[in-house]
A and B are shown apart, each in its own frame.
Chain A
Amino acid sequence: MPSSGAARSSKASAPVFAALGDETRLQLVSRLCEEGPLSIAKLTAGFDVSRQAITKHLHVLADAGLVRGTRDGRENVWALEPRRLEAARRHLDLISTQWDEALGRLKSLVER
């Protein structure tokens, strides 16, 4: 059975997954994953969307604690918050719960 600590982290992961439930935002996270911190200009360059739209998406990700924006001179630079992403990994706990349920069904089948 999962521990309550693991349960808490699943709950905390929910906004993370909601924030990632958008193609553009997923791509932004993927790019920051692969390329490290990027300026807003560089981030916008890879997309077919306006800088304002990208900024909006970045703020949704920031609200979920996934990315962080800092000022470097005149530019905004965005980077991943790795600790928060680590929490998202915990959704393995959900797969684990699905195994528990499947095993419960196997148990009733073979013990019948």
Chain B
Amino acid sequence: MGTDSDRIEKKILLRAPLERVWRAVSDSQEFGSWFGVEFNGAFAPGIPMKGKIVPTKADPEIAKTQEAYAGAVFDITVDRIEPERLISFRWHPFAVDPSVDYSTEPTTLIVFELEKNANGTWLTITESGFDHIPLARRAKAFTMNEQGWTAQARLIEKYLAHAV
């Protein structure tokens, strides 16, 4: 369990054809619609771009928790694209304070991997590199403003309700 602090991994079976899932993760507009962000262009490897956090319209409750960061702009770069198999990104996690220049800080790597299955598509997401992010930065992003904290607290509350 020692290396668990460095990465988050999620695997989910989506009951949709591979081509459909690929579009949802590789088309910047589609990506933005479920992630809750507006990108200033199409995904292309190695080209730095901007994402603006916008509350998702689909779920009013989730939209509320995202409101604290609505309008916040963050830097993101596509790392690699292997059509219908893999797309990866780099970004600065918790980089939501407009007064801070995060550009010299370490990034995390986010990898989306797709695999065809008889019932649909397996999607694996890995975000790694957290061990290099200074702890003070993590705590600060977390407590930056009352509103953000309230949103996070609501998230914890929900999280605890699920876990019991």
Residue of B127, B152, B160 near A7 (CB, 8 A) is B160
Known: A11-B160, A105-B59. A16 touches B8 (CB 8 A): no
A46 within 8 A of B: no
Q: Which residues of B contact A62 (CB under 8 A)?
A: none
B47 within 8 A of A: no
Whether the pair B5, A92 counts as a contact (CB closer than 8 A) is: yes
Whether the pair B156, A107 counts as a contact (CB closer than 8 A) is: no
Q: CB-defined interface of A81-103 with B at 8 Å, one 1/0 digit per residue?
A: 00001001101111111111111
Which residue of chain A lies nearest to B142 when distances are taken between CB atoms in the complex? A17
Residue of B62, B135, B156 near A89 (CB, 8 A) is B135
B51 within 8 A of A: no
Which residues on B are within 8 Å of A, measured CB to CB? 5, 8, 10, 12, 14-16, 20-21, 24-25, 30, 33-36, 56, 58-59, 62, 93, 123, 125, 127, 130, 134-136, 138-140, 142-144, 149, 152-153, 155-156, 158-160, 162-164
A99 to chain B, nearest CB (A): 5
16 additional contacts, CB 8 Å, given A14-B153, A93-B159, A109-B24?
A11-B156, A16-B139, A21-B139, A91-B142, A92-B5, A94-B159, A95-B8, A95-B127, A97-B158, A97-B159, A103-B10, A105-B35, A105-B58, A109-B33, A110-B21, A111-B14
Q: Which residues of A contact B56 (CB under 8 A)?
A: 105
CA distance A5 to B162 in the complex (A): 12
Sample of 29 A–B contacts (CB below 8 Å): A1-B162, A2-B162, A2-B163, A7-B159, A10-B156, A11-B156, A14-B153, A16-B139, A20-B139, A21-B143, A21-B144, A33-B135, A89-B5, A89-B138, A91-B138, A94-B156, A94-B159, A96-B10, A97-B159, A98-B155, A99-B127, A100-B10, A103-B12, A108-B34, A109-B24, A109-B30, A110-B14, A110-B20, A110-B21
Whether the pair A4, B15 counts as a contact (CB closer than 8 A) is: no
A63 to chain B, nearest CB (A): 16
Known: A10-B156, A99-B10. A109 touches B34 (CB 8 A): yes
Q: Is the interface of B mostly helix, strand, loop or mixed?
A: helix
B21 to chain A, nearest CB (A): 5
Whether the pair B135, A3 counts as a contact (CB closer than 8 A) is: no
Q: Which residues of B contact A11 (CB under 8 A)?
A: 156, 160
